[in-house]
Structure 1
Amino acid sequence: MDLFSRSWAALRTAVAGLPDQDFERPSGCTGWLVRDLVCHLIIDAQDVLITLVTPAETEPTRNAVTYWDVVEAPTGDDPLDALIVRLAAAYEDPRLLKFHLDDVGSAAGRAAELANPGVRVSTRDQVLTVGDYLSAYVLEWTLHHLDLIAHLPDAAEPPTESLARSREMLEEIAGTPFPESLSDEDALLVGTGRRVPTDVEQAELGELAAKLPLVLG
């Protein structure tokens, strides 16, 4: 849960430090500008708040790793994706996006710090403990932090411990470790299809290459 707080705070801080013009730059999410990604983070924060106040009485059906499903690559036809782009454009002034993320995001961060990790909650028709749910989101925050800075070389990077833990989770999802020659960041980028592997990396990946990319949903 501490890593959730650190990774989430680092991501929000990175957004807060962006100059206005960076919101019109592409992000690491195909088809999304930085402003679209930030709008998505606002919705993510809302989801965290909703989930933390949606208790469940049944036994957990997922944990921090199995929370994630490997899905088909997005085609751009998803109605929610289209809605996010329209919502982001409606903000017009990047300062409004920053304010809304800080407002809702800070609330989600406080709610996470106050939550009992052993309590069970329901989301996406699944049941998890709060601890597992928040741990799952370390991967979400870290990947989106990488998306945020994909074309912003001066922006702050995710915490090293978030990158390391996210790599561990992705390796569990893949069912096999990534080559040690790949840094944590490169393993995440290549593993989720955010970057095409080089010829050398492709050879080092071996049989794992056939499983990639792992698109998570």
Structure 2
Amino acid sequence: MHHFSRSWAALLAAVAHAPDEDFARPSGCKGWLVRDLVCHLVIDAQDVLITLVTPADTEPTADATTYWNLVEPPTGEDPLDALIPRLAAAYGDPGLLKFHLDDVGSAAGRAAELADPTARVGTQGKVLTVGDYLSAYVLEWTLHHLDLIAHLPSAAEPPTETLAAARAALEKIAGTAFPAELSDTDALLIGTGRRTPTDAEKSRLGELTDRLPFVLG
């Protein structure tokens, strides 16, 4: 839960400090501008709030690793993916989008800190402990932090500790470790298809190259 709070606070701060003109720049999410990514984060924060007040009275069916499914790369046909750019554009002023994320995002952060990590919640047809649910989101926040700053070289990077935690989570989901020579950032970007590995990196990855990317859903 510490990593959840740390990664989420860092991501919210990075958005808050981004100049308004950066919202029209591309993000690391293919086809999305920074403003689209921030709009997606608003929806993610709402999901966290909803899940934390959706108690379950059955045994857990998933944990922080099995919460995620490996899926095929997106085709762009998902209705929600198409909705987000239109919704983001409707905000007009980036300041309004920043305000909404800070408002909802801060509430999600507080709710996470107050939650009992042993309590059980239901989401997406699964039952998890609160601790596992929030731990699963460390990977989400860290990847989206990297997406946010993909074309913003002056923006703050994710915390070192949460990069390491996100890499460890991705390796558990994939059932394999990335070469130690890869930094945590490179392992996350290459592992999820956000960056194509160089020839030297492909050599280090070996047969793992053929399994890439690991797309989470």
Distance 2:22 2:33 in 1: 9
Q: Residues 44-71 of structure 1: CA distance to partner in whole angstroms, max 9, x if unpaired?
A: 0000000000000111111001111011
SS of residue in 1 equivalent to 2:122: strand
**Which residue in the other structure is 1:31 paired with?**
31
Give the distance between the partners of 1:173 and 1:129, measured in 2 at CA. 18
Q: Does residue 98 of structure 1 match 2:118? A: no
Q: Which residue of 2 aligns with 1:11?
A: 11
The answer to whether the aligner puts 1:136 opposite 2:150 as a matched pair is no
TM-score (norm 2): 0.99
Instruction: State the percentage of identical aligned residues.
Output: 77
The 5-angstrom pairing of residues 197-216 of structure 1 reads: 197-216=197-216
Which runs of structure 2 are paired with 1:118-197 in the superposition (5 Å)?
A: 118-197=118-197
Shift of 1:170: 0.7
**Quick one: distance in 2 between partners of 1:209 and 1:120?**
37
Aligned length: 217
TM-score after normalising by structure 1: 0.99
The aligned amino acid for 2:107 is A
Say yes or no: does 1:65 pair with 2:65: yes
- Residue by residue over 1:13-52, the C-alpha shift from the partner in whole angstroms, topping out at 9 and shown as x without a partner, is 0000011110000000000000000000000000000000
CA distance in 2, matches of 1:173, 1:133: 14
Structure 1 residue runs without a partner (length 5+): none
3-state SS of the aligned residue for 2:216? coil
TM-aligned CA deviation for residue 2 of structure 1: 1.1
Q: What's the offset of the Cα at 1:4? A: 0.4
How far did 1:120 drift? 0.4
RMSD of Structure 2 on Structure 1 (CA): 0.5
**AA partner of residue 124 (structure 2):** R
For 1:81, the aligned partner's letter is D
The alpha carbon displacement at 1:175 in A equals 1.0
Structure 1 CA distance for aligned equivalents of residues 104 and 126 of structure 2: 24
Contact 1:174 1:211 in 2 (8 A): no
Point out where structure 2 has 5 or more consecutive residues left out of the alignment. none
**Superposition deviation, residue 211 in structure 1:** 1.2
Runs of 4+ in 1 over 2 A off after TM superposition: none
Moved more, 199-208 or 26-35: 199-208
The DSSP-based 3-state class of the residue aligned with 2:30 is: coil
How far has the Cα of 1:207 moved from its partner?
1.4
Counterpart-to-counterpart distance in 2, 1:178 and 1:153: 25
Q: CA deviation at 1:209?
A: 1.1
Counterparts of 2:176 and 2:100, CA distance in 1: 39
Q: Distance in 1 between matches of 2:65 and 2:157?
A: 23
Structure 1 residue 20 corresponds to structure 2 residue 49: no
Query: Take 1:127 and 1:207, find their aligned partners in 2: how far apart are those partners?
Result: 34
